[in-house]
């Protein structure tokens, strides 16, 4: 018999395994330590960078977006840190301020659009409202989406609805909108703010009942208006997508 089956052989094997394990742990710890160090260095650099380019971050929306992306890739959220280093930058404040202004614009336009507004209209109105302030800052759509997403902590009252092709709508009244509803909004957007059930069903390959349910839900949410004087069939209109409504100040 060549294989050691005696007590000595077993002991020897166990010893070897233990040594392997010990070495493995050592290596792991080393790596972890190194990574931690790297992260520390990176974080310090990021903080230095942020301090150095504070004004640039505040003023340049493109720069701000890239900075945000960089932060989120290492798990730092300048928006959620009201205390400590990041508060010095005032980046969180910038977004909180935006969030408050978003709420203000949404409230002011709810009367006409039922609580649904395109991000473009929101941006135009918000910039106009900020106009008076001395320190002018460019506000990008990305800034608005970030700020609006923060408003989700208030429950389902605030929602950012993707409409495809870098288009978004912000919903400021409670009430869930499903994929079906945003699909209908996208259709209406392409069709001068209105759509009929048969048109929706034809375009989207839906059963009549599905379209009817989705459209009626939006009427019941106060987002769509019914036009029953169309020669063919009932049309559902969305003031939030209707150009003349968007451009009016009333």
Partner 1 sequence: MPEVDMDWPWQYNFPPFYTLQQHPETRAKQVDAWKSLILNYCEQTKTYTIDVRETENPLFNNTTINRKLDGGVITSILSELQRTGNACPIDKNKHRWEIYWHTIEEWAAIIYDFVNERGLQNTVVTLYELTQSEDNKELMFYGMHREVLIKVLRELENQRKCELILDDDVEGAKFF
| 235-237 vs 225-227, strand pairing mode | antiparallel
From 2-10, 86-94, 96-104, 215-223, span contacting partner 1 (CB under 8 A): 215-223
Binders of partner 1 among residues 159 to 198 (CB under 8 A) are: 194
Binders of partner 1 among residues 93 to 122 (CB under 8 A) are: 111-112, 114
Asked if 228 interacts with partner 1 (CB under 8 A), we say yes
CB of 244 to partner 1, least distance (A): 4
H or E segment to which residue 225 belongs: strand 225-227
Distance separating the N- and C-terminal Cα atoms of the chain: 98
**Is the Cβ of residue 158 or residue 237 nearer to partner 1 in the bound state?**
237
In three-state secondary structure terms, 224 is: coil
Interface residue with partner 1 among 24, 25, 220, 233 (CB under 8 A) is 220
**Is the Cβ of residue 150 or residue 194 nearer to partner 1 in the bound state?**
194
From 4-12, 40-48, 74-82, 232-240, span contacting partner 1 (CB under 8 A): 232-240
Asked if 245 interacts with partner 1 (CB under 8 A), we say yes
Q: Are 62 and 140 in contact (CB under 8 A)?
A: yes
Asked if 213 interacts with partner 1 (CB under 8 A), we say no
Asked if 222 interacts with partner 1 (CB under 8 A), we say yes
Q: Which residue has the tokens 């400590």?
A: 84
From 1-9, 14-22, 64-72, 229-237, span contacting partner 1 (CB under 8 A): 229-237
- By the 10 Å C-beta count (0-12 exposed, 13-18 middle, 19+ buried), 187 is classed as middle
Asked if 5 interacts with partner 1 (CB under 8 A), we say no
Rounded CA separation 36/48 (Å):
18
Asked if 73 interacts with partner 1 (CB under 8 A), we say no
Vertex 219 angle, CA 213 and 221, to 5°: 100
Buried b / exposed e over 132-152, threshold 16 CB at 10 Å, is eeeeebebebbbbebbbebbe
| 194-196 vs 168-171, strand pairing mode | unpaired
Please report, as ranges, the residues that interact with partner 1 according to CB under 8 A: 111-112, 114, 194, 219-220, 222, 225-230, 235, 237, 239, 242, 244-245, 247-248, 250
């Amino acid at each position: 018999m060549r294989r050691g089956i005696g007590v000595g052989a077993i002991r020897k094997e166990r010893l070897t395994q233990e040594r392997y394990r010990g070495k493995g742990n050592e290596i792991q710890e080393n790596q972890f330590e190194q990574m931690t160090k790297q992260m520390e260095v990176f974080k310090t650099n990021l903080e230095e960078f942020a301090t150095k380019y504070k004004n640039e971050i505040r003023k340049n929306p493109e720069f701000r977006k890239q900075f945000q992306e960089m932060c989120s890739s290492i798990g730092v959220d300048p928006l959620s840190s009201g205390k400590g280093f990041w508060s010095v930058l005032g980046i969180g404040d910038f977004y909180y301020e935006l969030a408050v202004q978003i709420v203000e614009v949404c409230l002011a336009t709810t009367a006409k659009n039922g609580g649904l507004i395109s991000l473009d209209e929101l941006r135009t109105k918000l910039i106009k409202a900020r106009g008076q302030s001395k320190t002018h800052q460019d506000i990008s759509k990305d800034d608005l989406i970030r700020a609006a997403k923060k408003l989700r902590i208030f429950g389902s009252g605030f929602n950012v609805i993707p409409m495809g092709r870098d288009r978004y709508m912000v919903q400021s009244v409670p009430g869930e909108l499903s994929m079906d509803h945003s699909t209908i909004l996208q259709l209406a957007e392409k069709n001068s703010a209105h759509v009929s059930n048969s048109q929706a069903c034809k375009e989207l390959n839906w059963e009549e009942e599905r379209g009817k349910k989705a459209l009626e839900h939006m009427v019941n949410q106060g987002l769509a208006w019914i036009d029953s004087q169309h020669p063919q069939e009932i049309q559902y209109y969305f003031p939030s997508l209707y150009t003349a409504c968007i451009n009016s100040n009333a």
